[in-house]
Amino acid sequence: MKSKLLFLFILLMPVLLYAQTGPKFEVEGDQPINTGVHLRNKEVHYDIKFKNAGDEILKIVSVSATCGCSSALSSSDTLQPGEEGIIKFTFNGIGMGPITKSIIVSTNEKENSSHQIDMQMNMVDPVTLNPSSIITQGKVGEEIKQTATMTDGLDKPIIINEVVSNSPAVKVSSDKMEIASGETATLNISVMLYEDSPVNAAVFIRTSEGEFQIPILVDISGK
C-alpha cells in the first residue's frame, strides 16, 4: 500500500510543482489601455486595476512613468494571491490629438518581473471656432455681416447657454443651443458702423464647458 502511495506521489509531483506559479502581476482588461477623450491642458486621472494572479505574495518593487509629464503610484506594495490593487495614473494634459504614455512596473516575479503598461489618450479642445477671430473693414453706416462656426470636439453634447457681445454695435445669434459630438453651430454676427471709428469688440459664447470668445476688429474705410 505504501509503495502504491509513493508511486502515486511521484506521478503527481511534476503536476504539483508545475501548479506553483509564484507571484503573477496581471492588469485588468486589454492593452494598450484607452482612457478616452480628454480636454487639452487639463490633468488626466485614471485608475489602472491589477491583481496578483499567482499563488505567492506579489511585491511591487517600483512604479515609474517614462516621461516627466506623467506619474503613477500603486495603492499597495504587497498583494496576497488573488488580491487586487490600483495604480493611479496622472498625465498633465499637455498635447493635442492621440497621445500614448507608458508606465513601468517592477515586481518580485522570478521571470518577467518588468511590465510596461501603455496608456492611450485623445486630447482635444472642447470646441473649434472658425474663424477664431474676425478682422475686416467697412464704411460708416454699413452693416457688416459675418458668420462663424463652433464645432463640438468632445464625445458628449455641449449646451450653449448664451451668446453675447461686449459692444452695442455687435449683434450675435446661434442657430443651435445644443451641439452633439462632432456637430457644428453657426453664429450669425452683424456689426453696425455707427461712427467714424473702428469697432474693437468680441463675441462671447458661454457653454456647459466654459466660455469662449471671438475677437472682432472692423476698421473704417473710405474716409
What's the pTM?
Answer: 0.67
Cell (9 digits) for 207? 457653454
Query: Residue type for 129, please?
Result: L
The answer on 161 and 119 residing in a single domain is no
Q: Which of 94, 124, 154 is the last residue of a domain?
A: 124
The answer on 135 and 164 residing in a single domain is yes
Q: Which of 87, 105, 124 is the last residue of a domain?
A: 124
Q: Is the pLDDT of residue 4 over 70?
A: no
The answer on 72 and 57 residing in a single domain is yes
> Which residues span the domain enclosing 165?
127-220
The answer on 109 and 68 residing in a single domain is yes
Q: Is the peptide bond before 32 cis (omega within 30 degrees of 0)?
A: yes
**How many structural domains are present in the chain?**
2
Tell me the mean pLDDT in the region 70-99: 94
DSSP per residue over 95-152, as a string? S-EEEEEEEEEEE--SS--EEEEEEEEEEE-SEEEESSSEEEEE-TT-EEEEEEEEEE
Burial class (CB in 10 A: 0-12, 13-18, 19+), 150: buried
Whether residue 1 lies inside any domain: the answer is: no
Q: How far is it, in rounded angstroms, from Cα 31 to Cα 181? A: 26
Q: Are 171 and 194 in contact (CB under 8 A)?
A: no
Give the Å distances, CA to CA, from 210 to 35, 158, 160, 205, 213: 22, 10, 10, 8, 10
When pLDDT is cut at 50, 70 and 90, the band that residue 17 belongs to is: very low
The answer on 133 and 47 residing in a single domain is no
Q: Which of 69, 92, 124 is the last residue of a domain?
A: 124
Tell me the mean pLDDT in the region 14-28: 74
Residue partners of 153: CB distance under 8 A and separation at least 6 = 124, 125, 126, 127, 128
User: For residue range 64-73, what is the model confidence (pLDDT) as tens digits?
Assistant: 998 989 999 9
Whether residue 62 lies inside any domain: the answer is: yes
Q: Is the pLDDT of residue 124 over 60?
A: yes
User: For residue range 156-195, what is the model confidence (pLDDT) as tens digits?
Assistant: 899 999 999 999 999 999 999 999 999 999 999 999 999 9
Whether residue 209 lies inside any domain: the answer is: yes
The answer on 203 and 141 residing in a single domain is yes
Whether residue 180 lies inside any domain: the answer is: yes
User: For residue range 127-141, what is the model confidence (pLDDT) as tens digits?
Assistant: 999 999 999 999 999
The answer on 133 and 120 residing in a single domain is no
